[in-house]
């Protein structure tokens, strides 16, 4: 439906069928080998339609009103994610976490390739998209049926998110903010730049939760590309100055390194381990429980 080329903000409504849990590996996407796929074994697209902004707003209002909580979860995907990748990954996250929030995917133009020039193109596409994300958050906030907004960002999607939030919180004038939680998963963000972004947002910023892994090879490569400055998603939160800075900025940090399994991908570990992060996502969105109230034993095994 959408390519990796840049353009104006567009809207779509998509329904995804997910096979029974007994026929799939939780935390994974079961891609169909042939189209349209078998609903008993594969993720299947039931409907996919382009819509305009008024239709998007009407659908959002109806879903939020029907929801008992009126919460919205915005997912911002990362580098090397095509549109179909992002749709199916978000469907998996919402399904496996049993999230009660209305799912809204913010997808930005990624080339969906791993070449260096595709990486630099994606970074500029992330910069290109930050104003659109800021406008989306404002649109959600103005909706009377939406009571709470939460953002889940992955990889380079964290750059889009942090830049949009930085711009949002330095704007003149006051507004009632429904944005409550921001979950940063494997953020491909310069750790020094993050320091300036988070503090520029001021004390009224939402709650931040950070998920890191020291064995993230994708971020290790990104670190090399960006002059060997550590990426936020690969730091050791027990080391200084990170430990003190995270405490000072009231950022909850969860180290997923101990969840390492043979052959797994540290960059996507947070979405694949249903027993930890997805369960905590449900707690934050459904039960209203803060991350700090979750025993670390439930996260790192």
Reference 277, options 29, 26, 79, 18; nearest CA is 26
What are the start-end ranges of the E strands in the chain? 11-17, 44-51, 71-76, 102-106, 148-154, 179-185, 207-212, 251-255
Average of pLDDT values for 164-176? 81
pLDDT for 101 beyond 70: yes
Contact, 272 vs 264, CB < 8 A? yes
What structural domains does the chain harbor? 52-298 (3.40.50.1820)
Q: Which residue has the tokens 């503090």?
A: 199
For residue 205, give Cα distances in angstroms to 136, 163, 202, 226, 249: 17, 13, 6, 28, 10
Q: What is the pLDDT of residues 26-43, one digit of tens each?
A: 888 999 888 889 999 999
Contact, 152 vs 281, CB < 8 A? yes
Categorize the per-residue pLDDT at 294 as very low, low, confident or very high, splitting at 50, 70 and 90: very low
Categorize the per-residue pLDDT at 97 as very low, low, confident or very high, splitting at 50, 70 and 90: confident
């Amino acid at each position: 439906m959408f390519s990796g080329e840049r353009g104006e903000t567009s809207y779509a409504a998509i329904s995804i069928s997910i096979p029974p849990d007994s026929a799939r590996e939780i935390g994974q996407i079961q891609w169909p080998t042939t189209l349209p796929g078998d609903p008993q074994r594969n993720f299947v697209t039931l409907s996919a339609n382009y819509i305009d902004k008024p239709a998007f707003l009407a659908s959002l209002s109806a879903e939020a009103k029907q929801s008992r909580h009126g919460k919205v979860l915005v997912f911002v995907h990362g580098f090397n994610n095509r549109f179909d990748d992002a749709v199916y990954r978000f469907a998996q996250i919402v399904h496996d976490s049993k999230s009660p929030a209305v799912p809204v995917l913010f997808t930005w133009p990624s080339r969906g390739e791993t070449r260096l020039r595709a990486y630099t193109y994606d970074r500029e596409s992330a910069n290109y998209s930050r104003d659109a994300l800021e406008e989306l958050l404002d649109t959600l906030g103005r909706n009377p049926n939406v009571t709470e907004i939460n953002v889940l960002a992955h990889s380079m999607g964290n750059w889009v998110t942090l830049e949009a939030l930085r711009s949002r919180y330095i704007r003149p004038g006051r507004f009632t903010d429904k944005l409550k939680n921001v979950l940063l998963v494997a953020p491909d963000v310069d750790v020094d730049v993050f320091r300036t972004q988070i503090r520029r947002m001021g004390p009224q910023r939402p709650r931040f939760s950070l998920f890191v892994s020291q064995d993230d090879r994708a971020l290790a490569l990104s670190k090399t590309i960006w002059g060997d400055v550590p990426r936020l998603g690969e730091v050791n939160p027990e080391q200084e100055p990170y430990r003190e800075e995270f405490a000072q900025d009231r950022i909850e940090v969860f180290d997923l390194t101990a969840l390492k399994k043979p052959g797994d991908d540290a960059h996507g570990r947070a979405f694949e381990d249903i027993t930890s992060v997805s369960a905590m996502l449900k707690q934050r969105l459904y039960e209203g429980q803060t991350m700090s109230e979750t025993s670390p034993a439930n996260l790192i095994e």
